[in-house]
Structure 1
Amino acid sequence: MYPAVERYLTILNKLGIHEEKGSSIEVSTDELALILFCTTRNVKIIIKKLVDEGLIEWQAGRGRGNLSKLTFLAEKEPLLMEWAQELSRKGEYKQAFDLLQTYSQSAEVKDRFVHWLNSHFGYEAEQKEGNSVVDTLRFPVYCPINTLDPSEVRFSFDSHMIRQVFDRLVEYDSVSGRVIPSIAHSWESNPDATEWTFYLRKGIRFHHGRELTSEDVHFTLERLRGNRPHNWLVRYVKQMECIGNRTIRIVLDKPNHIFLNYLCSSAMSILPKDLMLKDEEQFWNFPIGSGPFQLFQWTECCFEMTANPYYYQGRAHLDRVVIAIMPEDTASLSSNANWRQLISDHRTKDTVSDRDWKSIESLWRGCTLISWNLRKQGPQQSLHFRLAFELLLDRMKQIRDLGGDRSYPARGFRPTERTPYEESSSNPEEAKRLLREAGYEGATIQLLTYGSHVADAIWIQERCAEFGITVIVHTEDNVCTSEGKGDMDCILHGMVFGDDEVCEIENYEQIGNSLRDYLHPTMLEWVEIEVEKVLACKQKEQRRQLMDGIEQKLREEAHLLFLLHKKINTQIHPAVNGVGITSLGWIEFKKIWLENPASVS
């Protein structure tokens, strides 16, 4: 039916945009051929189809040159809604919004569609043949999955999804603060942490059925070498030896007492060697791991996973997870919608829950910040200018003006117990004095940002204008790979941290990381020396002091400008259990279970 509906709507838009059901117009087949971009012969076939579908009445003109009479029999909005809903049921969310954008300028139609999506998203206990029930979680996000290749991962959402499909040798348990077994059931190391031996579990299978072996581990780690963003994870790996199918020995050329934590990284997720060597390009179209969920479909608009029934740590309670990848510009349309979901995307506005819903609210384990490009000439080379920029920004005013999930001024990478009591360091008069000390004469500052940070960048632009600083805001979808990043004076971005030191080290080591790329070579060299000290240190408290020392130097010398901490607010239906927020700010799907699936919708 829908090809006929599309042609009906096209004709209606071109000839009867203000017409409704029962309205008639006079038109020739030649005119319809121009509208539908086809021949007059095809127009006659299309007209017959529209008549058969009950969409129009057609009274052909008699004689050459006489106009025909076309009567519209269907209302536009119900047709649009039905079509958009059908596209959404098939996971084609972008196409649904494109349809509404193309054929309707009515805000009411879009609001009605969003209201319908409110019931479409959430939990559904779908009845299948044989009286079986499939527990499905369906929810929207407004950021695409950029990659599931562990060696290329840069964003927290990608990292979270990789952890659903793939496993690692070990995992970090945030509750106990310890590294726990995963693919490896046991391990040992020598006293100076340069030689590590891992013993793999029997019977762990990839989703295509083959058992995971030490050769897969060897292949995965070896693949990280070369010009890959996460090559730093294996930089000190001197030698790897497979001792049978279930033992691997890894020798480092320098001590690393947190090598286990390195292996917890999403980038260290184990890949099937056989499929990768067979056709790597094809593999990433439909990646296969050994994780709790296996990929079912992956399109521009939809990412769907099903539970791995043979998962070695126990099958997930959910049967199916459907992630609707919504167009980013539709986030504002859902500001009044009550998405019944278990995941909170910090790019969207807060939603209002039913009174009986449970709520989990926590601070994002990270911050937004500005990294100054000290590899480029410009005003930012002056410490006085960077300090002035810091003091002219009133974070509390930024929070009040922009609202949303912005919560507290940031004084460092992670929020602390003192964070709710920190005040903005704004001091306009001192900022003006420092600008004079810097000899600033009005040079333009080029600021790069992306996605959810654009509103903050515009606010900063307007604030700086009050002090005579012209800021030009540039936006990119992926600033990590932006060709023009080196020409920018600074970048406004966000960072999310895990539970240990490795996530911080990543910012100083990962190729393409904006913080690392903008540090002056002398500063970067000092940081790398400090990181080596961290790895050689056995005591966690001493490692923390060293890491805090790096952060303190970056802050005092204004290499970075810390901006805000954000909150995560997740609404949970009372029948839903097993919910916890990971360090990356997302729900661990494997642990979710429904007390009474039939009551959740």
Structure 2
Amino acid sequence: MKIRRHYLALRTLYPDAQERDPIEATTQELAEALDCTHRNMVLLLQRMQREAWLSWEPKRGRGNRSILRFLAGKEELLLAEAQEIAEKQDLQRAITYLRETEDAGGVLRARFQSWLSGRFGFHSEVRGEQRLDVLRFPLSQHIRSLDPANMHYAGESHLVNQLFDGLVRMTPGGDDVLPQLAHAWEVDASRRTWTFFLRKGVRFHDGRAFTAADVIFTFERLRSLAPRGLFHWVYSDIAAIEMLDERTVSFRLLAPNELFLSFLTTNRAAIVPAMNEQESAGFGSHPVGTGPFRLAGNEHGIYTLEANEGYFQGRGFLDVVEVWTEPDESSTSFGAGGEQPAFQVMHNVRLTGPASEQLQQVRQSGTTCKFITVNELRNGPLRNPAIRTALHAALNRAKMIERLSGDVIEATNSFWPEYQAASADDLAYDAATEAPERLAASGYDGERIVLATIPQYRSDAMLVRDECLQAGIQLDIELIPAEMFKGESRLSADLLLFAVMLDEHRELRLIELFKSMLHHLRPDMQLELERRIAGLMSLQNAEQRTRTLMEIESELRASHRLLFLYRKHLKTAFHKSVRGISLESLGWVRFRDLWFKPAESAKG
């Protein structure tokens, strides 16, 4: 409200004035402060009086000083201004506005966060002549792209799952592949040709009918836009895609790959409509899929999703989902102190006290595992196996875990915790007391070691740096944006800190990891690892593939080319009124399944 900003401008002119203290001011001073004519200044002051923000006793005559008293607190109006900006769905500007104010101790921002939490959650609203069920959902991440071929972050992946479908889908536990846009499929005896039979009657959000031509376009576009993207080693080995008819499509692979069907269940393989170059260029901000929700708007970081009325698997219960992206840290911190959160669904939270009693919590099936890999191509001290061993000993994982905040953080020595051997050498991470002796005997001469990671893992990198410093190892941290981390820029570092999500796509994710390690292992190791990965992808038996992956991991761990740090279990918390909770990939809730039990009927 503009009048509110005029009042705040006056308060800025008299920063030491307290409420109700008389202030002498000429009308010229007041007009200059409000940047307006004398007549408009009088009108503005009169309106502020009607709002009971101030009192003004004008004195007639040039140079006479009027008496001004401020009645409304500056903080209340600053907060009201930020709330009004946020109500107009410009959350980022509201936060920026508060950050630019003199907010001692962050009191205003804390009050704004508390108010904002009440805006999230389930609401039944009347819009026009319709009553709609609306879920306003906080997501403390920046959304860069909703194009399945060009996404990098978990938040983007979650929204893509609401907007798109694949040919097939994976069960949450990763045990089976189910039909989706394809109602059936078959593979020939050579295991190189896969044929999919497509559903009839499926339409994209813009009304276009889904056909085999869209499947062909999707994968040709993916290979063109993301030749080195996530799981590129699967789709780059597609030799040809053929449309047998508009409901049948056939993939021919260069070689048998038993991970091909699993890849098709990932949202990297989500089906997009055939489009021209102009549509393709803007697809990340104007996505069109076949999923249970369509993107109805995207302004100021607020993504409005509306239910797809004609969804082939049945319309969702919610009418609208508003995803408010990157508001602040509150989306993961509400409830951490035990207070009752004001919204009904939260991801990746740690609840204690009353909040943990009021909300139900689901432990997500997947875990996040943090680890470090060694870049042997850099001519540095870590080419020496003895120094790598000393570095391993220097990392006191137990101490690092104590310093971490989060939910269920544990020591680990494997990407396969269900098979994890309780080895004293690997799990007794308090053996860092041996580090100085091992370091002295290793030949380390104080050389600086560079550790590269993405900005999101800066705090983990600092823990590693602190532990190394205590042992006498000099470590520098280099932060590289996630979208650039797989490129050449990371190869200037000695160590790479990253994480892998161990979910229903664990095989794919570990092969992706080991293939990325090929770029910074010794040439002889590269050839051997590449040979073994190629061999395991042709194995039809899943247990044999698992054994091979575990053997590769064990050898990398034993040579300290792969250093495990810890793993973290995540939880989704939700209010008891929420029904239909089911978790998809990465443990996120599928909005299509959600519905809310009215408060009156929830009392029993």
TM-score (norm: length of structure 2): 0.88
Q: Per the alignment, do residues 85 and 592 of structure 1 end up closer, same or farther by CA in structure 2, a change over 3 Å counting?
A: same
User: What does residue range 560-599 of structure 1 map to in structure 2 within 5 Å?
Assistant: 560-596=562-598
1:318 Cα shift? 1.8
Matched residue of 2:136: which SS?
Answer: strand
1:393 Cα shift? 1.6
Aligned to 2:108: 109
Aligned to 1:283: 283
Matched residue of 1:136: which SS?
Answer: strand
Counterpart contact for 1:368–1:562, Cα < 8 Å: yes
1:555 Cα shift? 1.5
Letter in 2 for 1:411: N
Aligned to 1:246: 247
Aligned to 1:367: 369
User: What does residue range 226-241 of structure 1 map to in structure 2 within 5 Å?
Assistant: 226=224, 227-230=227-230, 231-241=232-242
Counterpart contact for 1:387–1:558, Cα < 8 Å: yes
Deviations 1:554-575 (A, max 9, x none): 2222222111111213222122
Question: Can you give the 5+ residue segments of structure 2 that lack an aligned partner in the other structure?
Answer: none
1:329 Cα shift? 5.4
Counterpart contact for 1:392–1:426, Cα < 8 Å: no
Letter in 1 for 2:263: Y
User: What does residue range 271-420 of structure 1 map to in structure 2 within 5 Å?
Assistant: 271-274=272-275, 276-328=276-328, 334=334, 335-336=336-337, 338-341=340-343, 343-346=345-348, 350=351, 352=353, 353=355, 355-362=357-364, 364-405=366-407, 407-416=409-418
Matched residue of 2:321: which SS?
Answer: strand
RMSD: 3.2
Counterpart contact for 1:447–1:474, Cα < 8 Å: yes
Q: Per the alignment, do residues 557 and 470 of structure 1 end up closer, same or farther by CA in structure 2, a change over 3 Å counting?
A: same
* Cα distance in 1, alignment partners of residues 570 and 86 from structure 2: 27
Q: Per the alignment, do residues 44 and 192 of structure 1 end up closer, same or farther by CA in structure 2, a change over 3 Å counting?
A: farther
* Cα distance in 2, alignment partners of residues 193 and 202 from structure 1: 27
Q: Per the alignment, do residues 483 and 251 of structure 1 end up closer, same or farther by CA in structure 2, a change over 3 Å counting?
A: closer
Aligned to 1:74: 72
Aligned to 2:496: 491
Aligned to 2:512: 506
1:198 Cα shift? 0.9
1:70 Cα shift? 4.6
Deviations 1:108-161 (A, max 9, x none): 33332222233222222224454x532222232222223212122333332222
Q: Per the alignment, do residues 406 and 328 of structure 1 end up closer, same or farther by CA in structure 2, a change over 3 Å counting?
A: farther
Matched residue of 1:139: which SS?
Answer: strand
Matched residue of 1:321: which SS?
Answer: strand
Q: Per the alignment, do residues 144 and 504 of structure 1 end up closer, same or farther by CA in structure 2, a change over 3 Å counting?
A: same
1:21 Cα shift? 5.4
Deviations 1:149-183 (A, max 9, x none): 21223333322221111111111113571111111
1:398 Cα shift? 1.5
Aligned to 1:439: 443
Counterpart contact for 1:363–1:565, Cα < 8 Å: no
Correspondent of 2:90 among 92, 97, 100 = 92
* Cα distance in 1, alignment partners of residues 591 and 513 from structure 2: 27
Counterpart contact for 2:173–2:504, Cα < 8 Å: no
Q: Per the alignment, do residues 380 and 5 of structure 1 end up closer, same or farther by CA in structure 2, a change over 3 Å counting?
A: farther
* Cα distance in 1, alignment partners of residues 24 and 54 from structure 2: 11
* Cα distance in 2, alignment partners of residues 420 and 323 from structure 1: 43
Q: Per the alignment, do residues 288 and 570 of structure 1 end up closer, same or farther by CA in structure 2, a change over 3 Å counting?
A: same
* Cα distance in 2, alignment partners of residues 41 and 174 from structure 1: 63
* Cα distance in 2, alignment partners of residues 74 and 124 from structure 1: 32
Letter in 2 for 1:286: H
Deviations 1:196-223 (A, max 9, x none): 1111101110000011111111011111
* Cα distance in 1, alignment partners of residues 375 and 82 from structure 2: 45
Counterpart contact for 1:194–1:252, Cα < 8 Å: yes
Out of 471-480 and 548-557, give the one that drifted further: 471-480
Matched residue of 1:261: which SS?
Answer: helix
Counterpart contact for 1:204–1:212, Cα < 8 Å: yes
Letter in 2 for 1:297: G
1:248 Cα shift? 0.9
1:82 Cα shift? 2.4
The answer to whether structure 1 residue 161 and structure 2 residue 159 are counterparts is yes
Matched residue of 1:177: which SS?
Answer: coil
Matched residue of 2:142: which SS?
Answer: coil
1:540 Cα shift? 1.2
Q: Per the alignment, do residues 411 and 587 of structure 1 end up closer, same or farther by CA in structure 2, a change over 3 Å counting?
A: same
TM-score (norm: length of structure 1): 0.88
Out of 393-402 and 521-530, give the one that drifted further: 521-530
Counterpart contact for 2:369–2:415, Cα < 8 Å: yes
1:395 Cα shift? 1.6
Q: Per the alignment, do residues 100 and 182 of structure 1 end up closer, same or farther by CA in structure 2, a change over 3 Å counting?
A: same
1:578 Cα shift? 1.9
Letter in 2 for 1:52: R
Alignment length, in residue pairs?
A: 589
Percent identity at matched positions? 29
Q: Per the alignment, do residues 176 and 354 of structure 1 end up closer, same or farther by CA in structure 2, a change over 3 Å counting?
A: closer
Matched residue of 1:262: which SS?
Answer: helix
1:190 Cα shift? 0.6
Matched residue of 2:471: which SS?
Answer: coil
Deviations 1:304-347 (A, max 9, x none): 2121111101111222222222355566874445434455444x
Aligned to 2:171: 173
1:463 Cα shift? 1.8
Q: Per the alignment, do residues 440 and 564 of structure 1 end up closer, same or farther by CA in structure 2, a change over 3 Å counting?
A: same
* Cα distance in 2, alignment partners of residues 166 and 20 from structure 1: 56
Counterpart contact for 1:174–1:499, Cα < 8 Å: yes
Counterpart contact for 1:292–1:315, Cα < 8 Å: yes
Counterpart contact for 2:366–2:504, Cα < 8 Å: no
Counterpart contact for 1:344–1:586, Cα < 8 Å: no
Matched residue of 1:464: which SS?
Answer: helix
Counterpart contact for 2:140–2:328, Cα < 8 Å: yes
1:25 Cα shift? 5.0
Question: Can you give the 5+ residue segments of structure 1 that lack an aligned partner in the other structure?
Answer: none
Letter in 1 for 2:592: K
Matched residue of 2:378: which SS?
Answer: coil
Q: Per the alignment, do residues 60 and 310 of structure 1 end up closer, same or farther by CA in structure 2, a change over 3 Å counting?
A: same
* Cα distance in 1, alignment partners of residues 361 and 332 from structure 2: 22
Counterpart contact for 1:136–1:320, Cα < 8 Å: yes
Aligned to 1:13: 12
User: What does residue range 194-273 of structure 1 map to in structure 2 within 5 Å?
Assistant: 194-226=192-224, 227-230=227-230, 231-273=232-274
Deviations 1:527-553 (A, max 9, x none): 332221122111111111122222222
